[in-house]
Structure 1
Amino acid sequence: MSVTQQQTVPEQFVEFFDDAATFPPGLAPVERAVTDHVARRASLLDGAVGPAVLALADLPEAAGIAAGLDLTGGPVEASVVTPAGALGQALAARAEVAPHLRIVAVELKTDPTDRAVWTEQVREAAQVTDLPVYVELTAGQVADGALDELAGTPLRLKYRTGGIEAHLFPTPQELGDVLTGAVAAGLPFKLTAGLHEAIRYTNATTGFTHHGFLNIALATEAARAGEDREVVAGWLAETDPERLARAGAASDGRWRESFTSFGTCSVGEPADALRRLDLFPA
């Protein structure tokens, strides 16, 4: 990232959009995703984009593609989505994909069907101290005390905020309780799925109501300030763009210490959403 980009992108949004182009609904081919990710280094948007989010199985192809690109800005940084039980493979891949690809984080799935199994997977992941590991948890696991398993370890939380069915979208109260729980446990978290806009909205085609990532940022800020669950959920339910834009402009951005990033299959989409609120440069 250039000095100019660092100065121009608002600090609270630097490396906030993780580039998950190969995942639904975008489903970009690995070649296009990696090529576009590197080409974006010449644009302002690069300052707001985090690592490329890649499936563990796609790493060899991605490394081969990166090897043929101009990497004068450094290797392609990748966050690796890792199946349950495959943590060792993800860690070993660091050496296998170097020097063209650098793994900077692991997003570890767990087996939510068996508490004994997923708690052991969490304990194994907690032994990793030289790389951020985001553990993906379901609502059921959180209700079963999973945040307590992560608390006090180097681990971070990954949580889904949408999907291809309506029941996969948590309500403002449900998501607010997860955010509040993560903040109380001192757990940084990243989010994924359904976060296409800054402000909460209902998709006219699917009828699904999506969370807004700016709503989540302000809800996280409220949770960090010790506000009660009604206030936190209220920020998640807010749809007034003027109120949200004012609050976003006034924020000191410390919510990023908790809400580290979110995955998006189109990194230009969230930037455009912020531009419409005058929170991101043209």
Structure 2
Amino acid sequence: MSALLAGLVDDAGLFPPTALPPAGAVARHRRDRAAAHPMHTLRLLVPVARLAEIRAELRPDDRLALGLIADAAGPGDPGERLRAALATVAADDRLETALIEAPLAAFGGDPATAVPAVLAATAGAGAPVFLEPAAPSGIGALLAAVRGTLGVGAKLRCGGVRAELFPSPAEAAHFVTACARAGVPFKATAGLHHAVRHRDPDTGFTHHGYLNLLLAAALAAAGPGDPAPVLRALETTDAETLARELAALSGPAVAAARTLLVSYGSCSTRTPVSEARTLLDAA
């Protein structure tokens, strides 16, 4: 299982529901970097609008790899804000830009114009760029806009603070299958609080599980023409079935799955590790 889970979890501690303050997010990330658990990417996800807050908490000996996220917050052009943030990170010896994420909604939404705007803002950054369509159903237009572009992937939003931010299993299956067919990697964000698909008793929202998504990626990579197995993987709530099928994946299937699914952002960096240990070690 080590290759399947290695470098899977980005640190999204700044985001809800955990929503750590900058000091707490940096302190936790510092501890995680020292521990260096193999499931962690050791990337801290930081919106452009909060970069200054994070920098204010750094010590001279800190070395942080950032997933820098473009956002619509703030005055002026989002591309200019992203470009300025990248320059700030490049000039700070304590920081590096490991990857860039950009919601196309912040750049107008239409992939035909938003994608070139993001790519212009990130030119020369030397980091992969993951683009989030305004809705998962927009993956086709996004893939068409990035066709043949190296270093660009997609981003799947799996949840949020409102019910409409949670894609259905069918929508998520379509997204994953489309990326597999196009040979475009993707990462995921939001809502993946636990390993297995479940209903949150407090909110009533049904969340996707990160093990469901891993198995879906493996099946999509193995047979990109058929979305039915991918949908079944996303729909299951049976932890034993998921663990058994993941444990049965061959080495090449694991590599293909992780080439397709690069990582996902988790506001907790402890829960994914503990749940994977409990569920997969028993498989």
Question: 1:29 is matched with which residue: 1, 17, 21?
Answer: 21
Letter of the 2:10 partner, please give it. Answer: D
C-alpha contact (below 8 Å) 2:136/2:167 kept by paired residues: no
Q: Does the alignment pair 1:158 with 2:155?
A: yes
Provide Cα deviations, 1:254-280, integer angstroms capped at 9, x if missing partner.
Answer: 211010000011111111221220349
Letter in 1 for 2:180: V
Once residues 192 and 125 of structure 2 are traced to their aligned partners in structure 1, the CA distance between those partners, rounded to angstroms, is 29
> CA 1:232–1:115 in structure 2 vs 1: closer, same or farther (change >3 Å)?
closer
Deviation at 1:250, TM superposition (A): 2.1
CA–CA distance in 1 between the matches of 2:94 and 2:278? 36
Does structure 2 conserve the Cα–Cα contact (< 8 Å) formed by 1:107 and 1:133? yes
Match in the other structure for 2:261: 259
CA distance in 1, matches of 2:125, 2:137: 23
2:101 corresponds to which of 88, 107, 129: 107
* CA distance in structure 1 between the aligned counterparts of 2:263 and 2:97, rounded to whole angstroms: 16
Distance 1:140 1:242, change over 3 A: closer
Other-structure match for 2:177: 180
What residue is the counterpart of 1:217 in the other structure? 214
Pairing of 1:44-193 with structure 2 (within 5 A):
46-50=37-41, 51-68=43-60, 70-71=61-62, 75-83=63-71, 84-85=78-79, 86-96=81-91, 98-110=92-104, 111-114=107-110, 117-124=113-120, 127-128=123-124, 130-139=126-135, 142=138, 145-153=141-149, 154-193=151-190
Greater Cα shift, 167-176 or 141-150: 141-150
SS state of the match for residue 108, structure 1? strand
Q: Counterpart of 1:27 in 2: which secondary structure? A: coil
Matched, 1:42 2:34: yes
More displaced, 146-155 or 56-65? 56-65
SS at 1:106 equivalent: strand
Question: How big is the shift at 1:128?
Answer: 4.5
- Deviation string for 1:198-247 (max 9, x for gaps)? 11111111111111111111111111111511111011001111111111
1:63 Cα deviation from its structure 2 partner: 2.8
**C-alpha displacement of 1:119:** 4.0
Contact map agreement 1:203 1:210 (CA 8 A) in 2: yes
After superposition, residues 186-205 of structure 1 pair within 5 angstroms as 186-205=183-202
Q: TM-score, normalised by structure 1?
A: 0.86
> Residues of 1 paired with 2:192 and 2:130: CA distance?
18
Residue in structure 2 matched with residue 6 of structure 1 by the alignment: none
In 1, distance between residues paired with 2:141 and 2:209? Answer: 26
Q: Work out whether residues 82 and 121 of structure 2, in 8 Å CA contact, stay in contact via their aligned partners in 1.
A: yes
Residue 95 of structure 1: CA displacement?
A: 2.3
Tell me, yes or no, if the aligned pair for 2:12 and 2:267 is still in contact at 8 Å.
yes
Check conservation: 1:148, 1:185, Cα contact below 8 A. Answer: no
TM-score, with normalisation over the residues of structure 2?
Answer: 0.86
Aligned residues: 266
Q: CA deviation at 1:35?
A: 1.5
CA contact (8 A) 1:16 1:49 kept: yes
Asked if 2 retains the 8 angstrom alpha-carbon contact of 1:183 and 1:224, the reply is yes
Q: State the match for 2:237 in structure 1.
A: 239
Moved more, 34-43 or 195-204: 34-43
Unaligned runs of 5+ residues in structure 2 are 72-77
Identity %: 34
- Seen in structure 2, the aligned counterparts of structure 1 residues 139 and 184 have a Cα distance that, compared at 3 Å, is same
- 1:229 partner amino acid: P
How far, CA to CA, are the matches of 2:122 and 2:54 in structure 1? Answer: 27
